[in-house]
Chain A
Amino acid sequence: MTIALPALGVPRKHKIDLSWPILILFAALLCVLIILPMSWLFYYSLVDRSGAFTLGNFETLVTDPVFVAPLITTLILATSSSIICCVFAAPMGWLVARTDIPLRRTVRALVTASFVTPPFLGAIAWELLAAPNSGLLNKIYRAITGAPQDEHLFNIYSLPGLIFVISCYTFPYVFVLLANALDRIPGDLEDASSILGGRTWTTARRVTIPLALPALLAGALVAFLQAMTLFGSPAILAIPAGFHTMTTKIWSLFNYPPKPELAAAASVPLLVLTVVLLRAEALILGRRGYSVVGGKQGDPRLIRLGGIKWVALAFVFVILTCPVFFPYGALLNATFSRVATSFVTFDNFTLHNIHFVFFELSATKLAVKNTFLLGVASATVGTLMALVIAYLTTRRAIRGYRALGFLATAPVAIPGIVLGVGLFLSYARPPLVLYGTLWILLLAFVTIALPAAYQQLQSAFRSVHTDLEDASRILGSTRLRTLRDITAPLLRTSVIATWCFIFVGVIRELSAAIMLFTSETKVISVLIFDLNESGDLGAISVLGLIMLAITFAVVIAVNRIPGFGAARLRNT
């Protein structure tokens, strides 16, 4: 029996509920962030120098061999990379997630290492290793086989060389998607198959693989998109070899005198292709996931490999030499060697490169400062935005939340360099001139990081039940206060993981930064790229190692320091 009690105390003061304005503000911000640059991009692609409407830009794109060749090269590049990634990452993912191969955690850590290594730094390191005449590996080959000076085993300045380097640094995407999917397959299904008499291979073929196939396809598509939109590696390896890819071509169109109309037109195929592939991925994955349907489920049973586990381990480590061991070794070698492509010996050892970067190169301090500032700012703003937007969409707090969710994931369809072009065209002109400030870089980095952050936080939100929030609202708190006091602390580990993910992503970003920087807003990635154009390999190695050190420090801190809840940095 309920008793009606008289109202206690003073009637509650009605504070202004800031929830709605803030929520609308975020929605508006999102629109500006994404729709504005893209509209300018489309505008420029459809006008000529004088501003009149024309389809001439697109016509040039399809008829002029100067543009058609890079487009074909890009498609070949992306397809080959994607296939190679799948061929190597799939067995690796299966071995790590489903078998009792030793050193599983080390392997995962090394894959994380290759994931956070900037692809352009890997490309430079591979230049040191596999340049046809001066590369370290080729020197070893000639020393061992006694081949003449002219012969080489590897030529990194070629299309296969470029495909190889790109695959090295996109395979983590496939690996992670596949390993995560395989982690989640309930053991019950495989147990059932075993009970019914299926052997290991039959179980794998008829149960595990079909369940993992969607993830593999998704991984292949992601790898394709990544390979297609990379700028740094092609600029470093393709141009010396004498060919362009779409991204380097777009960038070259901004050399004086700039041709923004052609650059915008050249960006459109990349954009369209990305959107089409993402739709295809959504269609393929569709409702078929591997989502858990209630009830208790067993842990996946690890397959015993027996004797071949050492062979398998060797296989995995051989693969990992390509993105991790060899390149890092080459960078370390070049740091301490007087000649970047000679092995460090007693009379070759020098600390000059380190001294040069820290005490002579005037751009270092500024670049490091800018990178840190932008990293922290982008991570904070990005996490905040992703948090609010994820809340809005998972809790269906406002009308049109679906559109908001779509906009939050839309930037994944925009290649980095295309976004750079769009932002340049939007903000290098009045009324709002952000070009030349760190703000434009902040916009770019936040836009690029938003989709992944949003997805991470969205899945985190789904794991928090609404009861707690409902209780808070019933007791009279506003949505925003609920979010701040109840939900956010519960999501602390995910929020921190997202923050670090964005921070790491910002440090290695080059494609957008290369379009938007000026001399005062240089970041480390652009500085390394500049130094590569002038051939200062020693300085590049030192800066590259600094970059990697900062990245690893952040990643390890997130995973180890208590209080951060030992959050696992899940790569999406």
Chain B
Amino acid sequence: MTKLRFSRRNVLKASTAVAAGAVVARIGAPMRPAQAQARTVVAEPITPTLIEAAKKEGKLAFYTAMDLAFAQRLAKTFEERFSGITVRVERSGAERIFTRIGQEYGGNIHAVDVVNTADQAHCIVWKRNGWLASYLPEEVAKYFEPKYYDPDGLHVTTRILVSPLAYNTNLVKPEEAPKSFADLLDPKWAGKLVKAHPAYSGTIMNATFQIARELGWDYFEKLAKQRVLQVQSATDTPKKIALGERAVMVDGAGYLVIRYKEEGQPVEIVYPQEGTPLATGPSAVFKAAPNPNAARLFQNWMHSREAQQFLVDWARQYSPHQQTAEKAGLRKLSEIKLMREDAESVESMSEDIKTRYARIFKV
């Protein structure tokens, strides 16, 4: 090998290359420009062979962080559409599901077929472990923006959630309602707030990370002094304010607030001025799934226009499918000031976030 000459020209060339590489890598993260990452997997439609093979397997284990009522309804719709396949829904918070899958795979138990989580960071870990199967549904390739699926087909964003504020309209008048996260620190809200936990819920893990990034950890230190009711699930906080147990929810599943409001329950949503935390909910098929064909069929169907429209109409969530029709009553995603999602940082900092949170809120 010839000795490198440390001439000024060579050093300048090298350092420019390194700097350019760093800049590209920085930008590279969550948004993948379509031309930079070519799709390496063939998009698959639902074929009669797949349906046959799935029906032969006859069952499917779906681990999900969706609200339980919605998850069961989705499963039931699938069962009605493809009779003969029973879906067993295993519902828990995304972080909890991540722990359980980790425990199961650690003990060499392969029970899960399809997973839907609310934390992109989990897919990063599973991809790294090599647990995910490459399967890209045809409708995803056609109608989803490339940023919503992995170029190797290892995971697909199924739904998009926001974690806004919300309040009970019987307990709080609209003019008194908080309009921002900063408003919640007002002493008048002491003992009236309910909040979910990032060690249980993926939505809340994302929300906690984003709020900490924008407002700093001492926002949480001050919030902890407000005697917040600490529940676990992002789907529990809307339920608690609908019951009237607390007046205001600090974080939680925005879609449930919309659904309850449309059912006639006394709740109202507020998009905070500093920005609303955002979480995308990806789904993936596992390589070692016990029912691989049923898993692929479910993954395919879950991202079809039919299922995605159901997501929009019944569950009131945001769909990445470009052909779904919006249903009035839900503010457009583009009209909300959103905080930026950052899955890589969440993945590397998740233990840190949980420890810090536990220290501040004592649980």
Contacts and interface: CB of A to CB of B under 8 A. Distances in A.
Chains A and B are bound partners: yes
Contacts of A536: 68-69, 239
Nearest to A359: B76
Contact of B107 (A256, A436, A520, A537): A436
Contact of B351 (A149, A240, A257, A537): A257
Contacts of A537: 239
Contacts of B361: 242
Interface string A517-543: 011100000000011011111010000
Contact of A242 (B72, B99, B244, B363): B363
Given A257-B351, A519-B100, A339 B243 contact: yes
B294 interface: no
B347 to A, nearest CB: 12
Contacts of A240: 229-231
Interface string A134-154: 100000000000000100000
Nearest to B90: A519
A134 B168 CA distance: 12
Interface in B27-63: 61, 63
Contacts of B185: none
Contacts of A256: 95, 98-99, 102
Contacts of B108: 433
A243 B224 CA distance: 13
Contact of A535 (B72, B106, B233, B246): B233
A133 interface: yes
B235 to A, nearest CB: 5
A157 interface: yes
B109 A435 contact: yes
A69 B358 CA distance: 13
Nearest to A127: B245
A141 to B, nearest CB: 15
B200 interface: yes
A131 interface: yes
A301 B244 CA distance: 54
A479 interface: no
A399 B47 CA distance: 70
B291 to A, nearest CB: 13
A362 B363 contact: no
From A258, A341, A362, name the one whose CB has the most chain B CB atoms within 10 angstroms: A362
Interface string A384-407: 000000000000000000000000
Contacts of A535: 231, 233, 235-236, 239-240
Given A242-B361, A244-B362, A362-B75, A134 B243 contact: yes
A500 B296 CA distance: 45
Interface of A: 66, 69, 131-134, 149, 157, 238-244, 252, 254-258, 339-341, 356, 360-363, 366, 428, 433, 435-436, 518-520, 530-531, 533-537, 539
**Which are the 6 A-B pairs with shortest beta-carbon distances?**
A535-B236, A436-B109, A256-B99, A535-B239, A134-B245, A533-B232
26 contacts: A133-B246, A134-B244, A240-B229, A240-B230, A242-B228, A242-B362, A243-B362, A255-B199, A256-B98, A256-B99, A356-B72, A362-B88, A363-B90, A436-B111, A518-B100, A518-B104, A518-B111, A519-B90, A519-B100, A519-B111, A520-B111, A533-B92, A533-B93, A534-B233, A535-B240, A537-B239
